[in-house]
Amino acid sequence: MRTWLLLLFLATMAVDRPRLPFNARLTDFVFVAAALAIVLSHKHWSRPRFTALDFAILGYVAGSVPAVIFSPDPRVSGIELVRQLYLVAIYVVIAVAVRQGLAATVASGIALSGAMLAALGVAAFFVQTIFGIGTTALTPVMTLPYVGETVRIQALTASPAMLACVLAMAVPFVALHPFVIASRARTVAAAATLGFAAVLTYSHSVAGVAASTLIAAWESIRSRLPVRRAALALTILVVLALNFAASVSIRSIGQSRFRDDTVFQYGVDQGRAEIAGVNVEYQTMSYLRIKQVAWDAFRGAPLFGIGLDRFHRVTEIAYAQGRLTAPYRAIDPHSSLFGRLAEAGVAGGITLIALWIAIGVTVDRLRARHRDDWIVIAAAAGIIGTLVNSMNADVMNFRFLWAALGLVRGLSNEPPSSREGGTSSEA
């Protein structure tokens, strides 16, 4: 029972339905049941040996406490601290599950979390394209710069960008899963479905998908130097281009025939610049403006921040000042570091950076010990891809990131030969 409950939680952890109080979803109730089953089945409890990653996570939570104590609204900030503790609980439970021999179940669940939503989204896209039947929960129609009105794949997640973030974590687990690589047909089908779904999100978070895919494929292209260089260059180009696109939208360049007059919700104001004698008209994108608002909030309260989960207050002020448009008058930071600095100040920012460093060191050491373990490679790739997306997404609130960190924590206790390259199939 614990295996199936765990698998169900992991497979559904990105589904944004139904929307319940305190940002809870149905998957959270499944997690509680899975956690109880895992804890009750654990027969040999011993005093835990804390690792650098454990201490970094404790430090991250501790860095949030002053932002609650000194918050103008301690109730709201306290609820947000409870949410952070819940994410830590996911980390702990997944680590315990891996200690119980459920590493392959966890890996399979993370793979399913992206594969099922991608398949659902692609199917819904074709239904809407061919028959004109669609729903906002699956395939919303939005207006985008350069593209105009288009169908995007959302697939029951919070947004198309969120689906791309899910795929950044899940793609390596799907691509390296023994069930998938055992058949060329499955490999091609998985690549086509996941790739199609990622592209049709039309999201800047595809940058993370590109990064995690490259890392997952790195060993297979290591001996082919031209391919490796081309893949690395393409990934860097994609990351830079999508981050630029999330910052500004070019409207016109000099006297050229190119001109984009599309009206879209992401633009907050217009500007003009002269570059090498050429006039360039552009529109500032909401993602850049929200970072500017977050930085201003941090400068106004650098020590302890404005309080956890109080970013909507500063966006309301920015809206009243004309710096943000109506769709963004009450919006989340959409940037892990900038949002953390704004809400928790220096203490929050330092502890977040320390946590990222600890994650990097832990993953690197784990890779060195388990070089041929597909689960370790997939976890490393997914985590790095997610951190790439942290510039334009609040990745520290993602359940799947904490599940992957729990997987890494659990694997860190295993000797290199304990699972024969991670191909166990207890799921």
**Alpha helices (runs of H) in 223-302, residue ranges in sequence order:** 225-245, 286-300
Instruction: Give the SS3 label for residue 80.
Output: helix
How many residues are given for the chain? 427
Report residue 413's pLDDT band, with 50, 70 and 90 as the boundaries. confident
Contacts of 401 (CB under 8 A, 6+ apart): 169, 383, 386, 395
Convert the pLDDT of each residue in 130-162 to its tens digit: 999 989 999 999 999 888 899 999 999 999 999
What pLDDT digit, counting tens, does each position of 306-341 carry? 999 999 999 999 999 999 999 899 999 999 999 999
CA-wise closest residue to 109 among 5, 7, 35? 7
Encode pLDDT of 24-75 as tens digits.
999 999 999 999 999 998 777 777 789 999 999 999 999 999 999 999 999 9
Token couple for 90: 């996911």
Q: Tell me the pTM.
A: 0.93
Closest to 74 measured CA to CA, from 367, 309, 244: 309
CA 5 from chain centre, in angstroms, equals: 23
Decide: helix, strand or coil at residue 169: helix
